[in-house]
Structure 1
Amino acid sequence: MNKDSSQTALLWIVAAGFFMQALDTTIVNTALPAMALSLGVKPLAMQPVIVAYTLTMAMLTPASGWLADRFGTRRVYFAAILVFVLGSLCCAGAHTLGQLVIARVLQGIGGSMLMPIGRLAVLRAVSGEQYVSALALISVAGQVGPIVGPTLGGWFVQAITWHWIFLINVPIGLAGMIAVQRYLPRATASAAPPFDLAGCALVSLCMIAFSLAFDAPVHTHRAAWSAALFALGLAAALVYVPYARRRRDPLFKLALFGEPNFSVGLIGNLVCRIGSSAVPFLVPLLMQLELGYSPLHSGLMMLPAALAGTVAKRWIAPLIRRYGYDAFLLVNTSIVGASIVAFALISRGTPIAVEIVVLAIFGAANSMQFAAMNSVTLKGLSHEDAGSGNSLFSMVQMLAMGLGVTIGGALVSLVEAHGGTVAQGFRVSFAGVGVITLVSALIFRRIDAPAAVPASASAVPATSGRR
């Protein structure tokens, strides 16, 4: 096989991995009520199914590059697909919520390596002048996943059974493993530097504690448990600071936070993505539990947001070039937050056309928001710090996804537990996470305005396959 054919095969392999990982983050949402009915739990109790997956990916993402250096890109990528497929089979075979959560953790172990190692494989195999085009090509697979995921999940639930939202990964994964063995360049393992296991443990403990603090898994003394978990997360973060100062090669260098836009962008991303991540979880539940939509109908209703987001990507560079990052993010964040709050006004009497307009506005603004936030956070890092900064940024993205689902679901349950209806719970939840997103607009006001603006939309770094 010549070099061009080998590179083409590599791009298709990595694209398939991107597609599986991106598809799995959205296909579950429309199936949650059916899964809850099958497992004998309430639909809102299904949020650990999503949080377990995202938190696992967040914790293991930093180790992916080290594993590729230590054991070889081809071997680790094959193992990642294999673990992801095994996790998918375990998800389909789960009979209790606990079993499903454990299976999602296994799936997350494989998913945590698919995107970063796929990008690394392309970086090592494709020349510098072709790398941007190659990454743009495979990122299309990451964009297609969220578009077809909700509709496909609704169709599986309605036409067959919810188990197929996981079984669909099996043929894709098997084909990917065969292709990896046949086409992926055979890379030998290298002498990788020691992995900072203690640092990774501290960061992971911080993320898990903060996530659980917003929805402590206990029913007595919940406030005390939440406070204790929050304190534990804060303590882990504070312990990491002197630890990283003493260690020669820490997991994340403290010098990263010396770049002002990285620090502001990281905090802004975390806060803004809480609301944005709650919407894909809450909207299908609202439509099925309160508006009476079928799973397929609720999945189709998510299409306007996904399609509008795809179209809006081409507007990002011209708008930033004209108004700058600070003004663009201030206005666009306000639009994202306001559109999330607008979901609180949707009821059985709301015309479908109005729902579609709100979803389209949210999808377009949210898509531009993610691309702009990604770019402004990472653009100022040096070449030496880019890899470490990107890993930390990816972890924060995953943490925010888990927090969005946790906080959104917790607000609905809290209102219901205090005598309110589920409909009132959804209104409070959308209003709450929307206000959180609006607060992030104040954070982005601290961005250092003189910033290099991408010449085209493709120049905006794509740190996540989902947006």
Structure 2
Amino acid sequence: MTPETAPPAASPAAPSPSLAILPWLVAVALFMENLDATILNTAVPTMSASLGVEPLSLKSVLTSYTLSLAVFIPVSGWMADRFGTKRVFSLAIVLFTIGSLLCAVAYNPPMLVVSRIIQGMGGAMMMPVGRIALVRSFPRSEMLRITTYVIIPALIGPLIGPSLGGAIIHWFSWRIIFLLNVPFAIIGLWLAHRHMPDFKDTQAPPLDRAGFLLFGAGIALLSYVLEVFGEHSQPPLVLAGMTLVSVILLTAYCRHSRHVARPLLAVHLFAIRTFRLSVLGGFITRLGVGGMPFLLPLLYQIGLGFPPWQAGLLTIPLALAAIGMKVISRPLLARFGHRTVLIVNTVLLGLTITIFTQVGPGTSIAMIIPLSFAQGFFSSLQFTSMNTLIFADVDDREASKASSLASTGQQMSASFGVALASMLTAWFLGGLNQTDPAQTVPALHHAFLTMGILTVLSSFTFWGLKSSDGDNVSLHHSPSQPEA
């Protein structure tokens, strides 16, 4: 769907030259987010020593960001409809930059967590609003190609992030890593001013404030329970009580959403099979995969004794494989279809995670590099397949709602994935020394095995897809569908 044929309620978008730049503008935003996330993973062991806390305790610095995304993403769709994609996207970049600057001057974990929440508020609007602009600007048959163009530049973040973060920590302070986003934010603001289309719904309803409070409070409370679970910082009865309250709040939101005309999250979209299975299946898959970027630096630095810069270099094969996969994902999906690719690839991804149980002190670099390459290869194909299937059967008028709901699910699963990985590792450690390789490595191995099995089991979700699902995106021709 082109901007000229957008829904009547939407304002005219930018001319075609701007449309050529739009994917790159969204890529700049995604680059900023990915660079910030991956560069911080490598810094966790050093930051924990600097701040005087245990390494696993810093998971709150990672989860607070993704939790903030999950809480505020639902509002992003409404804000884009109410105030326009151009204005909201620019505001998102400004908030993200302010949060980055505050992180750079944080002097204790609580301040760092608050600063990361501000970053998350900006990130919560950047990608969903950028995705809305793309979905409304290009036809469905072009979305796989456009997504590839968006993802490839953005993958440069994970490519250089860990090694760059390791080098900065080795030579300078960890605080410098939060300042790297500033020049990219300036570029993003300039591009947004010139090339971001300004889609706006002049009939946007009022914000569902009651839904926002119910959902936000429920998710925040549940995330806190997952974060502190296993650390013995709260009595079991207190944790059980908070879990019960969070479930009550989320259940109340589900009931509330059925009785309002425009709920915060359009849960009715789960009636669409391709949307439901891609979001729910992706949620379970990300629970297993989401903790890997947090645990691998601990394995490389604590378990194998590598300095931060060398541990960062070990992630480069993963990012290179992810970039390479983006190039061939389109012909793969066109040849086999979303159903086959997702079922097979999910199993391969889970098996790859379990193989990390063989990595420990004395493991050859020659084994780690191809394993890292395989993880990047299968992860990239998995996320490309799930993300392109989300909008396959969603009407353009529902694009902002679908983007908000899908992005919320993705960020929740990413946050829960880190919390789950940390919880499993802490559980298998059983209160032992987190900086002792002899005690930490076996615990990490047990966590990898558990996460790998969970990922393999998530493949059963995609059996509910039909062979023709997503064909309008992948251009795959199922056996029952005649070729054009």
TM-score (norm 2): 0.85
- Cα distance, 1:254 vs. partner? 3.9
- How far apart in 2 are the matches of 1:454 and 1:433? 33
The 5 A counterparts of 1:352-371 are 352-371=365-384
Please tell me whether residue 195 in structure 1 is matched to residue 207 in structure 2. yes
1:429 aligns with 2:447: yes
Query: 1:262-341 alignment to 2 at 5 Å?
Result: 262-341=275-354
Cα distance in 1, alignment partners of residues 474 and 139 from structure 2: 18
Are residues 220 and 366 of structure 1, via their aligned partners in 2, closer, same or farther at CA, if it must alter by over 3 Å? closer
Counterpart in the other structure of 2:11: none
For residue 355 of structure 1, report the CA deviation from its aligned partner.
0.9
Counterpart-to-counterpart distance in 1, 2:274 and 2:140 = 27
Q: Residue 403 and residue 256 in structure 1: after superposition, are their counterparts in 2 closer, same or farther (change >3 A)? A: same
Q: 1:100 aligns with which of 103, 112, 124?
A: 112
Structure 2 residue matching 1:27: 3-state secondary structure? helix
The structure 2 residue matched to 1:77, chosen from 60, 85, 89, is 89
Q: Quick one: which amino acid aligns to residue 424 of structure 1?
A: P
Cα 1:129/1:384, change in 2 over 3 Å: closer
The corresponding residue for 2:42 is: 30
- Corresponding residue for residue 386 of structure 2: 373
Q: Matched residues in 2 for 1:121 and 1:319: separation?
A: 26
CA distance in 1, matches of 2:318, 2:299: 16
Q: Which amino acid aligns with 1:202?
A: L
Task: Tell me the number of residue pairs that the alignment of Structure 1 and Structure 2 aligns.
Answer: 456
Structure 2 stretches of 5 or more lacking a match? Answer: 1-13, 434-438, 477-484
Q: What is the SS of the residue equivalent to 1:340?
A: helix
- The residue number in structure 1 matching 2:356 is 343
C-alpha displacement at 1:15, in angstroms? 3.5
Q: Give the deviation of 1:52 after TM superposition.
A: 0.4
* Aligned residues of 2:166 and 2:308 also touching (Cα < 8 A): yes
Question: 1:176, 1:325 → 2: CA distance?
Answer: 33
| 1:294-344 superposed Cα distances (whole Å, 9 cap, x missing partner) | 111111100111111221234434444444433332221111111111112
Which of residues 165, 179, 187 is equivalent to 1:153?
A: 165
Give the match for residue 442 of structure 1. Answer: 460
Alignment partners' CA distance in 1, 2:371 and 2:394: 36
Q: Structure 1 residues 16 and 131 mapped into 2: Cα distance closer, same or farther (>3 Å)?
A: same
Distance in 2 separating the partners of 1:190 and 1:167: 38
Contact 2:152 2:326 in 1 (8 A): no
Offset at residue 158 of structure 1 (A): 1.4
Partner of 1:140: 152
How far apart are the structure 1 equivalents of 2:355 and 2:272? Answer: 35
Distance 2:330 2:190 in 1: 39
Q: Counterpart of 2:126?
A: 114
Report the CA distance shift for 1:181/1:266 in structure 2 as closer, same or farther (over 3 A).
Answer: closer
Distance of aligned partners of 1:425 and 1:9 in 2 relative to their CA distance in 1, 3 Å threshold: same
The letter of the residue matching 2:289 is S
Match of 2:420 in 1: 407
Which residue of structure 1 aligns with residue 436 of structure 2?
none
Shift of 1:9: 6.2
Deviation at 1:406, TM superposition (A): 0.6
Cα distance change of structure 1 residues 213 and 446 upon mapping to structure 2, 3 Å threshold: farther
Alpha-carbon distance in 2 for matches of 1:111, 1:3: 26
Root-mean-square deviation (CA, aligned residues, Å) is 2.9
Question: Do 2:290 and 2:417's aligned partners in 1 also have CA atoms closer than 8 Å?
Answer: yes
Any conservation in 2 of the 1:55–1:398 contact (CA below 8 Å)? yes
Out of 9, 30, 33, the position equivalent to 1:18 is 30
Q: Aligned partners of 2:40 and 2:465: how far apart in 1?
A: 35
Contact 1:212 1:226 in 2 (8 A): no
Describe the shift of the 1:109–1:249 C-alpha distance in structure 2 as closer, same or farther (beyond 3 A): same
For residues 178 and 323 of structure 1, what CA distance do their matches in structure 2 show?
41
Q: Among residues 369, 377, 394, which one is paired with 2:407 in the alignment?
A: 394
Q: Which amino acid aligns with 2:295?
A: L
CA contact (8 A) 1:330 1:444 kept: yes
Q: Which amino acid aligns with 1:146?
A: P
C-alpha contact 1:213 1:225 (8 A) present in aligned 2: no
Moved more, 182-191 or 312-321: 182-191
Check the 8 A contact 2:151/2:326 in 1, yes or no: no
State the distance in 1 between where 2:151 and 2:335 align.
Answer: 26
Gaps of at least 5 residues in structure 1 are 459-467
- 228-237 or 357-366, larger mean C-alpha shift: 228-237
Report the residue type matching 2:216 in the other structure: S
1:231, CA displacement in angstroms?
2.3
Q: 1:309 to 1:11 in 2, by over 3 A?
A: closer
| Structure 1 counterpart SS, 2:265 | coil
1:211 counterpart residue number: 223
TM-score, normalised relative to structure 1: 0.88
From 469, 481, 484, the counterpart of 1:451? 469
- Matched AA of 2:123: G
Calculate percent identity across the aligned residue pairs. Answer: 33
Structure 2 match to 1:45: 57
Q: Which moved more, 1:115-124 or 1:403-412?
A: 115-124
Q: CA shift at 1:224, angstroms? A: 2.9
- Aligned partner letter, 1:141: P
Cα distance change of structure 1 residues 101 and 445 upon mapping to structure 2, 3 Å threshold = same
Tell me, what secondary structure is at the counterpart of 1:214? helix
CA distance in 2, matches of 1:335, 1:62: 32
Secondary structure at the counterpart of residue 228 of structure 2: coil
Q: Do the aligned partners of residues 380 and 350 (structure 1) sit closer, same or farther apart at CA in structure 2, a change above 3 Å counting?
A: same
Q: What code does the residue aligned with 2:324 have?
A: V
Quick one: distance in 1 between partners of 2:412 and 2:140? 33
Q: Cα 1:457–1:344, aligned 2, differ >3 Å: closer, same or farther?
A: farther
